[in-house]
Structure 1
Amino acid sequence: MNKILIQLFFLLNFVPSDSISEQVITRQGQVSFFSYTSVENIEAKNNQVLSIIDLSKQEIAISMLMNAFVFKKSLMHEHFNESYIESDLYPKATFKGNFIDFDPNIEGSQTKFVKGTLTIRNISKEIEIKTNIEKIDGKFIITGDFELTVKDFEIKIPPILRPNIAKVISVTFRFEYQPYEE
């Protein structure tokens, strides 16, 4: 986990310690996805997502281990990691982006867009996500949802299993950030 944190710092090119109070972090962010088909629904949750925000730059970085997704059926977990995501070769997914017109000084709720690059299986795609940002007592809660297309990340599904997996996957997230302290 510490390796990921160090990578996030390098990823965002943070300023040294004088701006530490401008950074917020979560080590237990939540990301889930849902695939609906008439044959079978597939749902998985990952509660070990690392994310950091530099409030002064309005930058966000997210990193998650793909094998940390939990499924209802162990066979789904196995197929997801071995056949589709190939988590041995591509162990994590990342997102690096910027908030658009976000004011971190406003208490309460704001609806803002985050624009950035999502990388899964070493394939990067520019996306824009509508988020709800809530600031309560100096802490931030960010929630939202978006859709991913399986073919955009070159995930190959055998013809016999295509009816079981949706072409478009719904993704939801919730991050509760605390001030970063060394």
Structure 2
Amino acid sequence: MNKLRLLVILSFFKVGDILGQQFIARQGQVTFFSYASVENIEAKNNQVLSILDFDKKEIAATMLMRAFVFKKDLMHEHFNESYIESDIFPKATFEGTLLEGLENAAPQTQLIKGKVTIHGVTKEIEIKTTIQKTSDSYNLTGEFNLPVHDFNIKIPPILSNNIAKIVLVKFNFQYLPYENN
């Protein structure tokens, strides 16, 4: 399954461009939080695959929606069956561009502009992120808000007070040099 996700990510880049300038995060983390009056909804996905190319200032990520882990099994079931419809829309993707180049090894705040696809709907988005270089890797973190209605996710009127209209998404990727094996 990991090889399939890697192939999807690599398809965003030209095959001839896979050189030492790219970095890969094989187990990135994405979490989301939805405030609700009855019970907050929170989930974590530790199986996010991402590639980062500093020379081209490009980034791509993909994740399987069923890989989100919830505190309660019923939340996981409702998320996948009633809202995200994971059987029809099994993954979410992001393709973007860093608006500035990396200047030095100090932590930097960068803007990434790109397109996120969730539930079969693609929307443009700008994400404020922090990039920090360690000895042999880069750590990229950030957060952004996603309006549920932008992605045609239907919430029954009776449950509309139990699910936030805007979901907070946080991410953390540790990129290592990509090795073309």
TM-score class, shorter-chain normalisation, is over 0.9
Aligned residue number for residue 6 of structure 2:
5
Distance 2:123 2:100 in 1: 22
Is 1:51 matched up with 2:53? no
**3-12 or 164-173: which moved more?**
3-12
Distance 1:77 1:153 in 2: 19
Aligned residue number for residue 123 of structure 2:
125
Is 1:96 matched up with 2:95? yes
**Native 8 Å contact 1:108 1:136 kept in 2:** no
Higher helix proportion (structure 1 or 2): 1
Map 1:25-104 → 2, pairs under 5 A: 25-103=24-102
Q: What's the CA shift for 1:8?
A: 1.2
* CA RMSD in angstroms, aligned pairs only: 1.1
TM norm structure 2: 0.96
Aligned residue number for residue 146 of structure 2:
148
Q: What's the CA shift for 1:14?
A: 4.5
**Native 8 Å contact 1:95 1:116 kept in 2:** yes
1:116-136: CA deviations, max 9, x gaps? 000001100000000000011
User: Match for 2:11: what amino acid?
Assistant: F
**Native 8 Å contact 1:66 1:92 kept in 2:** yes
User: Match for 1:75: what amino acid?
Assistant: L
Distance 1:96 1:38 in 2: 34
TM norm structure 1: 0.95
SS of the residue corresponding to residue 38 of structure 1 reads coil
Q: Which runs of 5+ in 1 are unaligned?
A: none
Q: What's the CA shift for 1:65?
A: 0.2
The share of aligned pairs that are identical, in percent, is 56
Q: Which runs of 5+ in 2 are unaligned?
A: none
Aligned residue number for residue 163 of structure 1:
161
